[in-house]
């Protein structure tokens, strides 16, 4: 195959970057192309969802798929925006890594170090070992919050409602679960289920999930009195224990006989 190159100057600039991701067999060509876009910009560059889509024929779903692929492979780190007190502000902060985070500890390898190798001497991701020089890292590339505005900013009212309902500061894992169920059941259902769980004193998401699953199975939102047993078998066990305590130590009274009974012939 012949490769025709152009002169690199101000009008046709070039960029020096680590090619680690080019040989990462876990990544699709789409994800590798997106990494190329990220690393072609200066550090601290802010990327916008809409701006990236202007330069490709992919849609929003395709772009989000590539981002999630890079997150899974360790090239992008995503955290929720919070204020100083830890409350959710909406949106995400993203950090792009030129090599996966798991390999950053090896970034200062020397010529004699076994960089990025397993016990059998092969790199965990690609067959070639690291080069002699340490990788150049662009660790501070920032993706604008718009990247996942549909699943974060659009759901921020639901996250805040959970905190209002006594679920406390939501963990990233719980936020992901809520966002997923919003797509499945709708905001109205998820918020209503959180409200019912709060009134039942059950501030765990498994209980909320149980309510949602029962609503789906039974054709819609049910009355609160019908929700009491949805979360798990804990209510059944609780009621059983209450009944057991109520009747503990009970002895039936001796039967009262009417009239006199002749027992002279009873042996």
The stretch 164-191 carries a mean pLDDT of 86
Residues in the chain, overall count: 267
pLDDT at 197 (0 to 100): 93
CA 251/CA 207 separation, integer angstroms: 38
Lowest mean pLDDT among 168-182, 186-200, 215-229: 215-229
What is the arithmetic mean of pLDDT over 240-249?
A: 62
Tally of CB atoms within 10 A around 227: 22
For residue 96, pLDDT beyond 80: yes
> Can you give the pLDDT at residue 225?
55
pLDDT of residue 231: 46
Enumerate domains of the chain plus CATH numbers. 11-149 (1.10.10), 151-245 (1.10.10)
Arithmetic mean of pLDDT, 14-43: 87
Band (209; pLDDT cuts 50, 70, 90): very high
Is residue 41 a contact partner of residue 142, using CB atoms and an 8 Å limit? no
Say whether pLDDT at 233 is over 70.
no
Lowest pLDDT segment from 15-29, 151-165, 185-199, 229-243: 229-243
What pLDDT is stored for residue 160 in this prediction? 86
- The residue that leads in pLDDT, 181 or 117, is 181
pTM given for the model = 0.43
**Cβ atoms < 10 Å from Cβ of 98:** 22
Name the nearest CA neighbour of 233 among 206, 201, 196, 198: 206
Greater pLDDT, 262 or 16: 16
Among 47, 55, 28, 40, residue whose Cα is nearest residue 138: 40
Q: Is the pLDDT of residue 211 over 90?
A: yes
Inform me whether the pLDDT recorded for 29 exceeds 50: yes
Q: H-type helices in 150-233, by residue range?
A: 156-162, 172-185, 187-199, 205-217
What is the rounded average pLDDT of the residues 128-145?
A: 45
- Mean local confidence (pLDDT), 139-168: 67
18 and 99 Cβ atoms separated by less than 8 Å: yes
Q: What is the pLDDT of residue 241?
A: 64
């Amino acid at each position: 195959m012949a490769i025709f190159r152009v002169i690199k100057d101000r009008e046709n600039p070039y960029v020096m970057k680590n090619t680690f991701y080019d040989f990462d067999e876990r990544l699709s060509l789409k994800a590798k192309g997106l990494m190329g876009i990220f690393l072609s910009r200066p550090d601290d560059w802010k990327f916008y969802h809409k701006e990236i889509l202007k330069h490709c024929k992919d849609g929003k779903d395709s772009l989000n798929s590539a981002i999630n692929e890079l997150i899974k492979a360790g090239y992008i780190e995503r955290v929720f925006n919070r204020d100083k007190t830890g409350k959710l502000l909406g949106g995400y902060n993203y950090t792009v890594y030129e090599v996966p985070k798991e390999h950053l500890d090896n970034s200062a390898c020397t010529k004699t170090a076994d960089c990025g190798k397993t016990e059998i001497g092969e790199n965990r991701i690609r067959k070639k070992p690291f080069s002699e020089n340490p990788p150049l890292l662009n660790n501070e590339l920032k993706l604008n919050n718009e990247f996942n505005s549909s699943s974060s900013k659009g759901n921020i009212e639901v996250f805040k409602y959970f905190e209002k309902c006594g679920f406390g500061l939501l963990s990233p894992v719980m936020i992901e679960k809520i966002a997923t169920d919003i797509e499945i059941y709708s905001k109205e259902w998820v918020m209503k289920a959180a409200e019912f769980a709060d009134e039942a004193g059950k501030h765990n998401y498994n209980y909320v999930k149980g309510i949602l699953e029962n609503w789906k199975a039974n054709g819609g939102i049910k009355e609160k009195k019908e929700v009491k047993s949805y979360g798990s078998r804990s209510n059944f066990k609780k009621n059983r224990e209450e009944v057991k305590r109520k009747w503990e130590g009970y002895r039936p009274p001796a039967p009262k006989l009417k009239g006199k009974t002749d027992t002279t012939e009873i042996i």
